[in-house]
Structure 1
Amino acid sequence: MARPRKNRDDLRVHCCNVRLTKSEKQYAEREATKISCSVANWLRKSAFSKEEIQVSTMPREYYKQLIGLSNNINQIAKSVNQKKYTKISADIEEVKELLLKIYNLFQK
């Protein structure tokens, strides 16, 4: 099945060449990498967005671990709320360990 056609006003058909210094290009590449997008998309967001682009200063590996830990905590909470567990104390200890890992991540 083919992708639906874009509205004519939404097509990007106009080009604008911008010359950058080496340091400007490196800065744009670094900022685009932080939010996982291309330099062109980062420039568009920076130029036309009314809100400031928020970039986390946390290293990507820590961020991924934090997401995994929070998913684990959410799964445990969901199971507890559905009364699937009868051994709550073991799960509480697991949650304490996960929270300690999160705390240690933020201390680095």
Structure 2
Amino acid sequence: MARPRKLQEDLRIYQVNIRLTETEKLKADEQAEMAGLSVANWLRTAAFSKKTLQVKVSPMHRTYYRQLVGIGSNVNQLARKINQNQYPKIYQQLLDVKSLLIKINEIFQE
């Protein structure tokens, strides 16, 4: 089965050529890649859309965010135990969480 034809008003039949400097081209490429779009689609969206383009998060940063969420959950559990006067039992866990947070901070500082 063939793909249905687009309506005449939906066809992109006009072409606009622009010239960019090397810096502008690199910036357009970078922005388009961060938005997960082609340069043409990024430029079209940036020109005609009132909303700001959403930057997609890289898989590496997504992994870091998941780890931070897990650490935050652990910190909440530890705080709860501290508030229940179970502090001596969890002192080592607090030190482990502290060392993990220091390592993550060092990674983001690089």
The share of aligned pairs that are identical, in percent, is 39
- Greater Rg over alpha carbons, structure: 2
Structure 1 segment 65-80 matched on structure 2, within 5 A: 65=63
Aligned to 1:18: 18
Query: In 1, Cα distance between the equivalents of 2:4 and 2:64?
Result: 37
SS at 1:100 equivalent? helix
Compute the displacement of 1:59 (Å): 4.1
Aligned to 1:100: 71
Query: In 2, Cα distance between the equivalents of 1:29 and 1:11?
Result: 25
Q: Which has the higher contact order (CA 8 A, sep 6+)?
A: 1
Query: In 2, Cα distance between the equivalents of 1:39 and 1:18?
Result: 12
Aligned to 2:86: none
CA root-mean-square deviation: 3.4
Distance of aligned partners of 1:29 and 1:101 in 2 relative to their CA distance in 1, 3 Å threshold: farther
Counterpart check, 1:61 vs 2:30: no
* AA partner of residue 34 (structure 1): M
Aligned to 1:48: 48
Distance of aligned partners of 1:46 and 1:98 in 2 relative to their CA distance in 1, 3 Å threshold: closer
Counterpart check, 1:31 vs 2:2: no
Moved over 6 A (4+): none
What is the TM-score when the length of structure 2 is the normalising length? 0.57
Compute the displacement of 1:44 (Å): 0.3
Query: Between Structure 1 and Structure 2, how many residues are aligned?
Result: 79
Query: Which has the larger share of helix?
Result: 2
Distance of aligned partners of 1:101 and 1:66 in 2 relative to their CA distance in 1, 3 Å threshold: farther
Aligned to 1:6: 6
Query: In 1, Cα distance between the equivalents of 2:49 and 2:6?
Result: 21
What is the TM-score when the length of structure 1 is the normalising length? 0.58
